[in-house]
C-alpha cells in the first residue's frame, strides 16, 4: 500500500495520468463511433479494412529500424540531430521497399481482392506517416511533452472514427474506412514538431560521418531490437492473416472488433505507461546502474489494474457487444472472453518490455518476439490438425502467447536488479 501511495504522488503517476486523460477521451470517441460503424459497414468490409491495417502494423514499429528509440535514450544532446535525420531517411526508404513488397503480394497472391488494389496507395501513405510519427513521438517523449502527445492522439482518433462514420453514409465501402484513417495519421505532425522545427537546421546539416557514427553507436537497435519488433508486430498481425486463411473475412471482421475492445486498456493505460516507464527507467539506469525501482512501481501499478479490467471484460463482453453493436456482433463478445487472459498478460508485458532496451538486452527481446511468432504458427497448426474452428484457434493463441508474456515480465524483472556500469 505504501508503494502504491508513493506511485500516485510521484511524477511517474502524473505523467501517466496526463497521457491517459487524452487516451480516455480518444477511446470514448472510439466507443461512441463503433456502434455506428458496425451498422454502416458490412462485417466483410470491416474485415478487409482490418486486414490491410494489420499488414501496415506489421512494419510500423520497425520503419526506422528502431533508431527512433535512440532519440529517447541518447545521453549526448548533439547526437540527437543526426539520429533524427538517420531515422527519417531510413523510414522513407523502408516505406518504399515495404510498399513495393506489399503491392507484389496483394496483386499476385490475392487476386480475389482486385477491387481493392487502391489500398496499395494507402499502404504507402500510412507507412510514411507512421515513420514520421515514430520520430516525433520519441522526440516528444525525450522532452516529456506528454500534453502534446495526448492532444495529437485525440485529434487523430477523432478524425479517423468520426470520419469513418460520415463516410459510412456515402456507402463507398472499404474506401470510407481507409481514407479518414490515413488523413488522421497526418494530422498533428506540425504540433508534435513545434519544439523540433527551430532545431531542424541542425538536423539538416548533420553530415554523413555524424550519421554513420550514431548508426554504429546504436547498432543494437537494427541488429536486435528491429527484428524483435517486426517479429512482435507479425505475431499480432499474423493472427488476422491466419484467420483470413483459415476462415473468411466475416470472421476477421468479428475478430477485429474483439481486438478493438480488448485493445482499449492497452491504449488507455499500457501504451502510456510504457512511454513513461522507458523514460524513467533510462534515467534511473543512468544514475544508479539499475532500474529496479521503476520496474517495481510500474509492475504494481499495472497488476492492480489488470485484474479488475480482465474480470469486467470477461463477464460483460457478449452482452455488451450485442447491445452496443447489434445482435450479430455477439460473436465478437465470445471472442473477447476467449482472449481476455492473454490481453491482460500483454497489458503488463507490453508496458514493461522497454526495460530490455534500457539494460541493452535486445537479444532477449528478439528471443521473446520470436517465441510470439512461433505461437501463432503453433496455433495455426493445432487448428488445422484438430477441430478447424475459430474457438480452437483463439484458445491456442490465448494459452501460448500468455505463457510468453509471463516469461517476458520475469525477464525484465530479473534484469532490472542487475547492476551494470554505464558506458
pLDDT digits (tens, 9 = 90+) for 21-39: 666 777 788 878 888 888 8
Asked if the model's pLDDT at residue 89 lies above 80, the reply is yes
Asked if the model's pLDDT at residue 287 lies above 80, the reply is yes
Task: Look at the block and give the residue holding cell 498533428.
Answer: 188
User: DSSP secondary structure string, 371-388?
Assistant: HHHHHHHHHHHHHHHTT-
**Cell (9 digits) for 360:** 541493452
pLDDT attached to residue 98: 94
DSSP letter (8 states) at residue 247: S
Residues 6+ apart with CB under 8 A from 351: 269, 270, 271, 273, 274, 277, 298, 302
Per-residue confidence band for 174, with pLDDT thresholds at 50, 70 and 90: very high
pLDDT attached to residue 308: 87
Instruction: Report which listed range, 53-62, 125-134, 213-222, is most confident.
Output: 125-134
**Cell (9 digits) for 383:** 487448428
pLDDT digits (tens, 9 = 90+) for 38-66: 889 988 898 889 888 888 988 888 889 88
In whole angstroms, give the CA distance from residue 117 to residue 131: 22
Per-residue confidence band for 7, with pLDDT thresholds at 50, 70 and 90: very low
pLDDT attached to residue 208: 92
* 400 closest CA partner among 279, 235, 277: 235
- 51 touches 240 (CB < 8 A): yes
* 237 closest CA partner among 254, 255, 223: 255
Asked if the model's pLDDT at residue 143 lies above 60, the reply is yes
Mean pLDDT rounded to a whole number for the chain: 85
The residue ranking higher by pLDDT, 212 or 285, is: 212
List the single range of 11-25, 90-104, 115-129, 259-273 with lowest mean pLDDT.
11-25
**Cell (9 digits) for 250:** 466475416
Exposure letters 53-64 (e unless 16+ CB within 10 A, then b): bbbbbbbbbbbb
Give the angle subtended at the CA of 174 by the CAs of 173 and 175, to the nearest 5°.
90
In whole angstroms, give the CA distance from residue 219 to residue 214: 8
Residues in the chain: 423
Residues 278-294, mean pLDDT to the nearest whole number: 84
Residues 6+ apart with CB under 8 A from 306: 265, 344, 347, 348
pLDDT digits (tens, 9 = 90+) for 317-357: 888 888 888 888 888 889 888 888 998 898 899 888 888 88
pLDDT digits (tens, 9 = 90+) for 398-414: 999 999 999 999 999 89
pLDDT attached to residue 268: 65
In whole angstroms, give the CA distance from residue 170 to residue 178: 14
Cβ atoms within 10 A of the Cβ of 191, count?
15
Per-residue confidence band for 267, with pLDDT thresholds at 50, 70 and 90: low
Stated pTM of the model: 0.73
What phi and psi, each to the nearest 5 degrees, are found at residue 291?
-135, 35
Give, for 268, the enclosing helix (H) or strand (E).
none
Give, for 240, the enclosing helix (H) or strand (E).
helix 226-246
- 144 touches 279 (CB < 8 A): yes
The residue ranking higher by pLDDT, 26 or 128, is: 128
Amino acid at each position: 500500500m505504501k508503494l502504491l501511495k508513493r506511485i500516485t504522488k510521484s511524477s511517474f503517476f502524473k505523467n501517466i495520468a496526463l497521457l491517459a486523460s487524452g487516451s480516455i477521451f480518444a477511446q470514448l470517441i472510439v466507443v461512441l463511433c463503433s456502434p455506428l460503424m458496425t451498422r454502416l459497414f458490412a462485417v466483410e468490409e470491416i474485415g478487409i479494412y482490418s486486414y490491410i491495417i494489420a499488414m501496415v502494423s506489421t512494419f510500423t514499429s520497425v520503419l526506422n529500424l528502431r533508431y527512433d528509440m535512440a532519440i529517447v535514450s541518447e545521453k549526448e544532446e548533439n547526437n540527437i540531430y543526426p539520429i533524427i535525420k538517420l531515422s527519417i531517411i531510413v523510414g522513407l526508404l523502408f516505406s518504399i521497399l515495404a510498399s513495393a513488397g506489399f503491392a507484389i503480394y496483394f496483386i499476385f497472391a490475392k487476386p480475389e481482392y482486385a477491387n481493392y488494389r487502391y489500398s496499395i496507395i494507402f499502404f504507402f501513405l500510412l507507412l510514411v506517416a507512421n515513420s514520421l510519427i515514430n520520430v516525433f513521438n520519441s522526440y516528444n517523449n525525450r522532452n516529456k511533452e506528454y500534453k502534446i502527445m495526448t492532444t495529437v492522439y485525440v485529434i487523430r482518433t477523432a478524425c479517423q472514427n468520426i470520419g469513418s462514420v460520415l463516410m459510412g453514409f456515402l456507402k463507398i465501402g472499404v474506401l470510407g474506412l481507409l481514407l479518414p484513417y490515413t488523413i488522421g495519421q497526418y494530422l498533428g505532425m506540425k504540433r508534435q514538431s513545434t519544439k523540433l522545427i527551430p532545431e531542424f537546421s541542425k538536423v539538416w546539416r548533420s553530415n554523413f560521418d555524424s550519421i554513420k557514427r550514431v548508426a554504429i553507436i546504436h547498432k543494437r537497435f537494427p541488429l536486435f531490437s528491429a527484428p524483435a519488433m517486426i517479429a512482435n508486430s507479425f505475431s499480432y498481425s499474423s493472427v488476422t492473416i491466419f484467420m483470413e486463411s483459415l476462415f473468411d473475412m466475416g470472421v476477421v471482421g468479428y475478430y477485429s472488433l474483439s481486438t478493438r475492445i480488448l485493445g482499449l486498456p492497452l491504449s488507455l493505460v499500457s501504451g502510456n505507461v510504457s512511454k513513461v516507464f522507458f523514460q524513467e527507467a533510462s534515467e534511473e539506469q543512468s544514475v544508479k546502474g539499475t532500474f529496479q525501482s521503476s520496474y517495481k512501481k510500474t509492475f504494481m501499478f499495472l497488476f492492480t489494474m489488470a485484474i479488475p479490467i480482465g474480470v469486467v471484460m470477461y463477464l460483460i463482453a457478449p452482452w455488451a457487444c450485442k447491445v452496443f453493436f447489434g445482435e450479430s456482433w455477439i460473436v465478437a463478445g465470445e471472442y473477447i472472453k476467449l482472449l481476455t487472459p492473454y490481453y491482460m498478460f500483454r497489458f503488463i508485458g507490453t508496458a514493461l518490455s522497454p526495460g530490455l532496451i534500457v539494460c541493452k538486452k535486445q537479444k532477449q527481446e528478439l528471443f521473446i518476439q520470436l517465441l510470439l511468432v512461433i505461437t501463432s504458427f503453433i496455433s495455426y497448426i493445432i487448428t488445422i490438425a484438430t477441430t478447424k474452428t475459430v474457438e480452437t484457434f483463439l484458445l491456442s493463441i490465448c494459452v501460448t502467447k500468455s505463457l510468453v508474456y509471463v516469461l517476458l515480465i520475469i525477464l525484465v524483472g530479473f534484469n532490472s536488479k542487475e547492476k551494470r556500469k554505464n558506458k
